[in-house]
């Protein structure tokens, strides 16, 4: 089970002490804390976490990882190129060793990279510079004695073996990137998310390397759940959507139990029909807790249904409806 945490407006950016030296290219990140063991234990230079506990021991760092923290290995310019091989592989292996999943293991690079067409054993590395006289930036290129093909292979393998690669243009982008990521972590853990998360099936149905329920990096899954549609209507929300969906599911299971009427999967049309009609007059009567006359009228107004008009007659193909009604009730007035 994921660690349960209560987050309001606090989180933490933790930086390994090696990144705080005078020789480091990493600019100061407001509000960040330092750690003497972060890189040694995790292979990461930066930890962005929804928790505010220290990052001083392996056990504490594992708690951060369980809560959905991101482990970030930073590489700038030629440093990325020269890290191909053992250094990148070791960093990723350490991240995974503390329980981090793929979406939590981030390789963050800065700079530009291009092949050197006249020398396959070397490549160009570009650094973003500012030209005050022209008021615009430019890229300063220098060559490095490593193969561009080897770099591309290493970056692909970092992803294949369980990491995520994120490129930025320059070192000055790292602090705001970290701050924005921290803000997004706060938003996810404080519940400021879309209703899709609240009505979508449980995490047990996700792929094996799934994100935690409140993680920043979410799995991309095709959403076909009708409760998402229902919950978008004013006055409905995820609670009513889930409640109506369960009623529709039970009702259709009973109706289609014999197998003579096809599938019994819940659908949006049936749910909206129940929500816009006075189901207490059905035979047998059907009650939707928390959903009364005012709620029905408000929903009908949003759907554009005039008074006295019901969905089951007006929102399906008229010819199909007439054929169905004729077979069901004969030619008497409907």
Question: Could you tell me if residue 140 is inside a domain?
Answer: no
**Residue 250: inside a domain, yes or no?**
yes
152 and 276 part of one domain: no
Note whether 25 and 164 are same-domain residues. yes
Each residue's pLDDT, cut to its tens digit, for the chain (334 residues) gives: 333 333 333 468 999 998 887 777 788 888 889 899 999 999 999 999 988 899 999 999 999 999 889 999 999 999 999 999 989 999 999 999 999 999 899 999 999 999 999 999 999 999 998 776 777 889 999 999 999 999 999 999 999 888 999 999 999 999 999 999 988 887 777 665 554 555 655 555 555 565 566 665 555 555 678 888 898 899 998 889 999 999 888 877 776 665 555 566 788 888 998 899 888 887 778 888 999 989 999 999 998 887 777 776 444 444 544 554 556 555 544 3
Give the C-alpha separation, 249 to 266, whole Å: 5
Give yes or no: residues 151 and 57 share one domain: yes
- The answer to whether residues 278 and 177 belong to one domain is no
In a domain, 21, yes or no: yes
Domain encompassing residue 51: 12-112+147-198
Q: Are residues 181 and 287 in the same domain?
A: no
Task: Check if the beta carbon of residue 76 is closer than 8 Å to that of residue 27.
Answer: no
- In a domain? residue 127: no
First to last CA, the chain: 55
Verdict on whether the full-model pTM lies above 0.85: no
Question: Do residues 10 and 52 lie in contact, with contact meaning Cβ atoms separated by under 8 Å?
Answer: yes
Whether residue 23 contacts residue 3, with contact meaning beta carbons closer than 8 Å, is answered with: no
Task: Clarify whether residues 50 and 177 are in a common domain.
Answer: yes
CATH number of the domain residue 66 falls in:
3.40.50.10130
Q: How many domains does the chain have?
A: 2
CB count, 10 Å around CB of 301? 12
163/233 same-domain check: no
Does residue 208 form part of some domain? no
Q: Going along 85-188, which residue ranges are E strands?
A: 105-110, 112-115, 123-131, 136-144, 164-168
Pairwise CA distance, residues 131 & 13, whole Å: 32
CA 300 from centroid of its chain's CA atoms: 33
Q: Is residue 253 part of a domain?
A: yes
DSSP-assigned letter for residue 85: T
């Amino acid at each position: 089970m994921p660690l349960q945490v209560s987050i309001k407006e606090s989180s933490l950016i933790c930086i390994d002490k090696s990144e705080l030296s005078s020789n480091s290219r990493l600019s100061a990140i407001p509000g960040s804390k330092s750690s003497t063991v972060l890189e040694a234990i995790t292979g990461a230079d930066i930890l962005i976490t929804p928790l505010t506990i220290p990052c001083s021991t392996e056990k504490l760092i594992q708690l951060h990882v369980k809560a959905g923290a991101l482990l970030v290995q930073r590489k700038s310019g030629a440093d990325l190129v020269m890290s191909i091989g053992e250094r990148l592989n070791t960093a990723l292996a350490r991240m995974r060793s503390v329980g981090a999943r793929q979406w939590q293991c981030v390789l963050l690079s800065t700079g530009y990279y291009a092949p050197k067409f006249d020398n396959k054993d070397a490549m160009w590395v570009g650094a973003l510079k500012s030209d005050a006289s022209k008021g615009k930036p430019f890229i300063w290129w220098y060559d490095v004695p490593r193969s561009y093909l080897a770099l591309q292979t290493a970056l692909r393998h970092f992803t294949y073996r369980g990491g995520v690669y994120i490129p930025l243009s320059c070192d000055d982008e790292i602090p705001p990137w970290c701050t924005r990521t921290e803000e997004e972590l706060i938003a996810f853990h404080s519940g400021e998310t879309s209703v899709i998360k609240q009505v979508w099936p449980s995490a047990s149905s996700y792929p094996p390397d799934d994100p935690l329920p409140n993680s920043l990096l979410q799995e991309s899954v095709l959403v076909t759940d009708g409760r998402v549609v229902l919950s978008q209507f004013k006055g409905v929300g995820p609670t009513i959507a889930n409640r109506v969906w369960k009623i529709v599911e039970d009702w259709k299971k009973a109706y289609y139990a014999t197998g003579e009427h096809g599938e019994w999967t819940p659908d949006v049309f049936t749910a909206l029909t129940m929500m816009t009609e006075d189901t207490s007059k059905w035979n047998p009567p059907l009650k939707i807790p928390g959903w009364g006359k005012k709620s029905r009228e408000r929903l009908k107004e949003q759907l554009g249904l005039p008074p006295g008009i019901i969905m089951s007659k007006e929102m399906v193909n008229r010819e199909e409806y007439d054929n169905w009604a004729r077979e069901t009730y004969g030619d008497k007035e409907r």
